[in-house]
């Protein structure tokens, strides 16, 4: 990562220069790869002195000044007229910019003054540019392509502004590619292209930054706000090392600060090129500040979301930890084995009973409570009794009717002598039932003294229908709870007589006989006869709700 690019999100990406077979590949590392024989060449600096600048990987690299570059013996000197410009930033000296520069087209990146970026060289014209500049002053013009898919860019395919750069390092690879590291010096504008073969050369005009002659308080506040925004972004970005603040504090020139941040912004090539073409430092700083503000807003939102996620995870882990502790404490207090097997068995039995959804919701809630209650607690027994009752009720167990009129007559004649009028009424009842199976038939009421066969007639009807028989004696019942059941808030609560008989017979459609109904009594606890209305009324008994269950049972 360049010294000017501490954050991988906001750094100048390695620029690729390659033929079609090597397009858009990152620049290879400068160290020798295993099994290769790449040769490395470090470019010597000029006699005026050498300045240290961070390379693309964060290592120190010698950066030459280009006003009097050293030349090897026998190298030809450049006779092109030169212009002198002052360069601020990491290289503070006078740089002599040739009037005619070799042009190195790059794609997918923009080189800024002061930026140190690696480039992978693969195109033939690019290699020819290096062949010329390396023996001489190592200075060339880096210009971005408008369309990165063009393999042989011409003048019309390039932007009109670029950056004068000096090659500070070169590595030759065995497969023919070359990797270089260049350091941007200053902006320039292309005036005209003077050569197209074997590579591009152009007459250029160096462009200096436009800054106020005397910094105003507003300008100083702008610089300070940009610096603070950059520090905030470094603080929020997890991938930027803390050393980036030190690099930021070393930059004093406002124009260099703007270029440093622009090179590291995660923006498109078009947007970065627009920042490069902005020579007015004040406007460039304002645009950089806007982009930093947008980036900071996104990072703060991301940080908020991450905090919420971490908080949710911490709560979940804490809840799980406390639940495990509670289970261990319950196990010690109860002195028994883990009750999870009992809960699992109840859940399995309830699932096998195929209870309705409304009952399933209630049992799931009670099962969760049961798993977290000590076995020594009185509430544990209440919940377990309720769940066992639910599991034992015949929710989905019923018998099929066999409406055989002749068979019913035979059964009635077998079990009862005489009683012709009563037998005839029963046969009529069965015949209507056969013709209209879904209809709500009347409730048969047998009236007579003890011992005349009222109860046995009910058994015969059940046998003729193929149903089970349930008999419930109501003699002496004075409490409404005997019919509707007790609410579970009471210790020792149990379901009413209706549900108890259904559980005992094991089917949800038996022939039920309410015996001795005339012996019901009423007292201060209520009137059981009133509770029987819901049981006997065909419009209501389809949704009979026992107080103990708290949910309808048909």
- pLDDT at position 80 is 40
Residue 51 clears pLDDT 70, i.e. is over it: no
Paired tokens of 454: 């009222």
CB 462 within 8 A of CB 511: yes
Instruction: Give the chain's length.
Output: 554
CB 251 within 8 A of CB 89: yes
SS3 178: strand
Mean pLDDT across the chain? 77
Tell me the Ramachandran region of residue 354: left when phi exceeds 0, alpha when psi lies from -120 to 50, beta otherwise: left
Tell me the Ramachandran region of residue 40: left when phi exceeds 0, alpha when psi lies from -120 to 50, beta otherwise: beta
Paired tokens of 427: 């046969």
pLDDT in tens, 445-482: 888 888 888 888 889 988 888 889 998 888 878 888 88
Residues of the chain with pLDDT > 70, as a percent, come to 80
Paired tokens of 303: 């940080």
CB 30 within 8 A of CB 59: no
- pLDDT at position 179 is 86
Judge if pTM exceeds 0.85: no
Paired tokens of 474: 């109501």
- pLDDT at position 95 is 56
DSSP state at residue 327: H
DSSP state at residue 253: -
- pLDDT at position 337 is 55
Query: In sequence order, what are the residues at sequence separation of 6 or more whose Cβ sits closer than 8 angstroms to the Cβ of residue 484?
Result: 496, 531, 546, 547
Residue 64 clears pLDDT 80, i.e. is over it: no
Nearest by Cα to 532 from 512, 508, 510: 512
Cα separation, 140 vs 491, in Å, equals 94
DSSP state at residue 120: E
CB 256 within 8 A of CB 113: yes
Query: How would residue 405 be classed by pLDDT, with cut points 50, 70 and 90?
Result: confident
Q: Which residue spans of the chain are classified as CATH 1.20.58.1480?
A: 217-303
CB 19 within 8 A of CB 126: no
Q: How many CB atoms lie within 10 A of CB 255?
A: 24
Torsion from C-alpha of 17, 22, 24, 28, nearest 10 degrees: -80
Query: In sequence order, what are the residues at sequence separation of 6 or more whose Cβ sits closer than 8 angstroms to the Cβ of residue 421?
Result: none
Query: In sequence order, what are the residues at sequence separation of 6 or more whose Cβ sits closer than 8 angstroms to the Cβ of residue 341?
Result: none
β-partners of residue 164 are 141, 186
| Helix pair 217-236, 243-250: axis angle to 10 deg | 160
* Residue 136: C-alpha distances to residues 7, 72, 77, 201 (Å): 34, 8, 7, 15
Cα separation, 125 vs 158, in Å, equals 15
CB burial string 521-532: b at 16+ within 10 A, e below: eeeeebebbebb
- pLDDT at position 142 is 92
* Listed range (64-68, 409-413, 427-431, 531-535) with the worst mean pLDDT: 64-68
Dihedral sign from CA coordinates of 515, 516, 518, 520: negative
Helix ranges restricted to H, 402-548: 405-415, 420-435, 454-465, 481-484, 497-505, 528-536
Tell me the Ramachandran region of residue 458: left when phi exceeds 0, alpha when psi lies from -120 to 50, beta otherwise: alpha
Q: Which fold has domain 217-303?
A: Methane Monooxygenase Hydroxylase; Chain G, domain 1 (1.20.58)
Residue 125 clears pLDDT 60, i.e. is over it: yes
* Listed range (160-164, 228-232, 309-313, 503-507) with the worst mean pLDDT: 309-313
pLDDT in tens, 416-426: 888 889 889 98
pLDDT in tens, 297-348: 888 888 888 888 888 888 888 888 888 887 777 666 655 555 678 888 889 9
Q: H/E element holding 369? A: helix 357-371
Q: How many CA atoms lie within 13 Å of 369's alpha carbon, on the beta-carbon side?
A: 16
Cα separation, 454 vs 449, in Å, equals 9
Cα separation, 331 vs 268, in Å, equals 63
Cα separation, 446 vs 518, in Å, equals 11
Average pLDDT over residues 343-369: 89
CB 96 within 8 A of CB 84: yes
Please give, one letter per residue, the 3-state secondary structure of 260-320.
HHHHHCCCCHHHHHHHHCCCEHHHHHHHHHHHHHHHHHHHHHHHHHHHHHHHHHHHHHHHH
pLDDT in tens, 206-244: 888 888 888 888 888 998 888 888 888 888 887 877 787
β-partners of residue 118 are 181
- pLDDT at position 22 is 36
SS3 149: coil
Residues of the chain with pLDDT > 90, as a percent, come to 4
Helix ranges restricted to H, 154-280: 217-236, 243-250, 254-264, 269-276
Paired tokens of 489: 């808030």
Tell me the Ramachandran region of residue 306: left when phi exceeds 0, alpha when psi lies from -120 to 50, beta otherwise: alpha
Q: Indicate the class that CATH gives domain 8-69+77-207.
A: mainly beta
Residue 59 clears pLDDT 80, i.e. is over it: no
Which single residue is written with the structure tokens 């490395």?
40
Query: How would residue 98 be classed by pLDDT, with cut points 50, 70 and 90?
Result: confident
Q: How many CB atoms lie within 10 A of CB 296?
A: 17
Q: Is 337 exposed, middle or buried (0-12, 13-18, 19+ CB in 10 A)?
A: exposed
Give Cα 532 distance to the centre of its chain: 57
* Listed range (161-170, 250-259, 520-529) with the worst mean pLDDT: 520-529
Which single residue is written with the structure tokens 């015996």?
515
Residue 513 clears pLDDT 80, i.e. is over it: yes
Q: Which residue spans of the chain are classified as CATH 2.30.130.40?
A: 8-69+77-207
């Amino acid at each position: 990562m360049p010294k000017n690019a501490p954050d991988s999100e906001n750094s100048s990406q390695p620029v690729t220069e390659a033929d079609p077979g090597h397009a858009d590949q990152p620049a290879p590392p400068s160290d020798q790869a295993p099994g290769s024989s790449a040769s490395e060449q470090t470019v010597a600096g000029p006699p005026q002195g050498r300045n240290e600048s961070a390379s693309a990987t964060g290592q120190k690299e010698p950066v030459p000044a280009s006003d009097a570059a050293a030349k090897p013996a026998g190298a030809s000197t450049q006779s092109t007229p030169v212009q002198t410009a002052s360069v601020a930033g990491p290289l503070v000296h006078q740089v002599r910019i040739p009037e005619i520069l070799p042009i190195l087209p790059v794609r997918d990146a923009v080189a800024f003054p002061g930026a140190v970026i690696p480039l992978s060289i693969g195109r033939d014209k690019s290699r020819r540019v290096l062949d010329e500049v390396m023996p001489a002053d190592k200075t060339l013009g880096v210009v971005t392509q408008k369309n990165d898919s063009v393999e042989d860019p011409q003048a019309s395919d390039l932007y009109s502004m670029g950056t004068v750069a000096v090659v500070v390092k070169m590595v030759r690879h065995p497969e023919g590619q070359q990797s270089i590291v260049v350091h941007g010096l200053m902006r320039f504008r292309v005036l005209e292209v003077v050569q197209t073969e074997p590579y591009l050369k152009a007459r250029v005009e160096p462009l200096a930054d436009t800054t106020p002659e005397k910094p105003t308080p507003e300008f100083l506040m702008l610089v300070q706000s940009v610096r603070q925004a950059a520090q905030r972004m470094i603080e929020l970005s997890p991938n930027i090392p803390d050393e980036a603040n030190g690099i930021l504090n070393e930059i004093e020139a406002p124009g260099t600060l703007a270029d440093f941040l622009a090179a590291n912004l995660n923006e498109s090539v078009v947007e970065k090129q627009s920042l490069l073409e902005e020579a007015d430092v004040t406007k460039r700083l304002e645009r950089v500040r806007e982009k930093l503000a947008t980036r900071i807003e996104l990072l703060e939102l991301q940080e908020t979301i991450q905090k919420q996620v971490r908080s949710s995870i911490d709560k979940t882990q804490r809840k799980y930890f406390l639940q495990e502790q509670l289970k261990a404490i319950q196990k010690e207090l109860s002195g028994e084995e883990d009750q999870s097997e009992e809960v699992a068995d109840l859940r399995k039995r309830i699932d096998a009973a195929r209870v309705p959804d409304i009952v399933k919701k209630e049992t799931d809630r009670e099962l969760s409570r049961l798993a977290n209650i000590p076995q020594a607690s009185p509430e544990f027994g209440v919940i377990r009794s309720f769940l066992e009752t639910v599991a034992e009720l015949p929710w989905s167990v019923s018998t099929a009717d066999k409406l055989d009129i002749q068979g019913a007559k035979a059964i009635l004649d077998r079990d009862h002598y005489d009683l012709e009028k009563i037998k005839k009424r029963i046969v009529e009842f069965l015949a209507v039932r056969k013709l209209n199976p879904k209809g709500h038939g009347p409730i048969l009421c047998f009236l007579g003294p003890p011992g005349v066969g009222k109860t046995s007639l009910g058994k015969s009807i059940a046998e003729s229908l193929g149903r089970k028989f349930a008999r419930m004696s109501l003699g002496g019942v004075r409490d409404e709870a005997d019919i509707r059941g007790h609410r579970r808030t009471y210790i020792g609560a149990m379901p009413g007589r209706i549900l108890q008989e259904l559980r005992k017979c094991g089917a949800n459609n038996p022939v039920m006989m309410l015996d001795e109904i005339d012996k019901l009594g009423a007292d201060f606890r209520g009137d059981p006869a009133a509770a029987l209305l819901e049981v006997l009324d065909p419009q209501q008994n389809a949704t009979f709700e026992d107080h103990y269950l708290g949910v309808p049972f048909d």
